[in-house]
Each structure stands twice: as structure tokens, then as C-alpha cells.
Amino acid sequence: MMILIFFLPLAAAYCPQWVCQSLNYTVCATLQGTQILANSNGCPTDFYCKLEDFYDWSDLLSPSSTKSFYCTRQNYDGVDSSTIDSQGSSFCGTRNPDAFLAVGSHPKKCTTQQDCKTREGWSTQCVCGLDGYFYCEADISSNAFDGYWKVCQISKNLTNDLRIDARNRTYWNWYQKYYVEIISAPGCLGNLLWEFQILSDLKSLALDSAVFLGISAVSTALLI
């Protein structure tokens, strides 16, 4: 996960806060002291702002820099459903209840990795979110992914097999990869960042999967 550019010990770590603000239409974000001003207007059509590219760029600058990162043109026609479908279904895995946090639940703010200790005694990483706070990363068995396990159960009820289709698997893999960013992002980033656009498209694709066809709207809320 890209946010690991901010190094421990956490007490001395730099974790900037993303703040929504109207900027020039070509600008994705601007570094301003300990804040990152994110363009609430989004990028122009066919232009995107990739979080990974932004972190690669901002890591070269000092925290006190005032510099702008620009939206870039991307050839993007949406996620490729045929490629995803060709992967077929896969085993859901076995949920480990000891992967839940020993204290509290996700999303959980942290100051050290010890705050992220699980019931089993090991810890997930304490990483920088987009709101200026650090959060515990979430294991796939934790409460952060209740929706994933419920989708698996729905599939088992329909097919008598604890497997998940490729569309839902791809969505949840992407959600886990960017979990901390997703739960800590201000509202404007959904229309600004490439990674969030992919998440939205994968969610739509998952909702068109066989496991969701014909079930209630309440069940579709399992996808976050």
C-alpha cells in the first residue's frame, strides 16, 4: 500500500490531511504545509489523478513545499469484465476469528502498531490515512470484511459451495488494497482519484454478478 512512505516511529511521522477545495480544473492536488488540498471539482473528462503517482511525486518534496500535482490523460474505457470473468470462481477461504482486533474494531485509529494487535497476538500495520490520522490495516477475516464473508455465504446458499465469483473477488481484493484510504477519504476524492473510480466500476460489475441477481436491494448493500 502506497501510504507506507510515512516512516515509523509514528510520533515523528508526517501524515498529511487531504482537504477538499476548489482548484484550477487541471490541478489534482496541491501540497500546502501539512495539508494536501484536493480539487473538489474533479479532473476534466478523460483525465485522472492516480494516488500512487501522487505519492511517488510528493515523496520527492519536503512537507513545507507548495507545489501542485496535475491531472493526466488516461485511456480508460472501464474495467474489462471479460478478462475478469475468464478467471472463474475461487474458494472463499476459511475465516479466522482470531484475526479480529484484540481491542476495538475496524476502522480503528492507531498511534503505534501495538494498537493493531489481533486476538491471536500478531499485529497489522498502523498506516497513514487521508484525513491526517493513522489507521490499522484490516485482515480479510476481520470485521472490516463482513460483507465479503456474507457474499460467500450467499453463494454457498445458492450453489452449496463456499466459492466467490471473479467479479466479487476482484472488487474485494481492490477494497482491501485501499481499505485505509477508502475509510479515511474526504467526499471529493471519490470523483478525483483513479483508484476510487476503479472501485466504483468494480462495485457496479460485482452487482451485475450472478450472486446478486434476483436478491433484495438490502443484500446489495453488502458492497461498500
Grid coordinates belonging to 39: 480539487
Confidence of residue 219 (pLDDT cuts 50, 70, 90): very low
Angle between helices 166-177 and 194-207 (to 10 degrees): 150
Residue owning grid cell 475478469:
84
Q: Provide the phi-psi class of 91: left if phi over 0, else alpha when psi is between -120 and 50, else beta.
A: beta
Give the SS3 label for residue 19: strand
Confidence of residue 159 (pLDDT cuts 50, 70, 90): confident
DSSP collapsed to 3 states, 20-89: EECCCCCEEEEEECCEEEEECCCCCCCEEECHHHHHHHHCCCCCCCCCEEECEECCCCCCCHHHHHCCCC
Is residue 176 within 8 A of residue 140, CB to CB? The reply is yes
Distance, CA of 224 to CA of 221 (rounded, Å): 7
Residue owning grid cell 515509523:
8
List CB contacts of 165: < 8 A, sequence separation 6 or more: 89, 155, 209, 210, 211
Question: Radius of gyration of the chain from Cα atoms?
Answer: 19
Angle between helices 51-58 and 194-207 (to 10 degrees): 160
Q: Provide the phi-psi class of 213: left if phi over 0, else alpha when psi is between -120 and 50, else beta.
A: beta
| Per-residue pLDDT tens digits for 107-120 | 999 999 999 999 99
| Per-residue pLDDT tens digits for 80-111 | 999 999 999 999 999 999 999 999 999 999 99
Mean pLDDT check: name the lowest of 46-60, 129-143, 178-192.
46-60
pLDDT at 86: 94
Stated pTM of the model? 0.85
| Per-residue pLDDT tens digits for 5-57 | 333 344 446 788 999 999 998 999 998 878 899 999 999 988 889 998 888 88
Distance, CA of 113 to CA of 32 (rounded, Å): 28
218, HSE (Cβ side, Cα atoms, 13 Å):
0
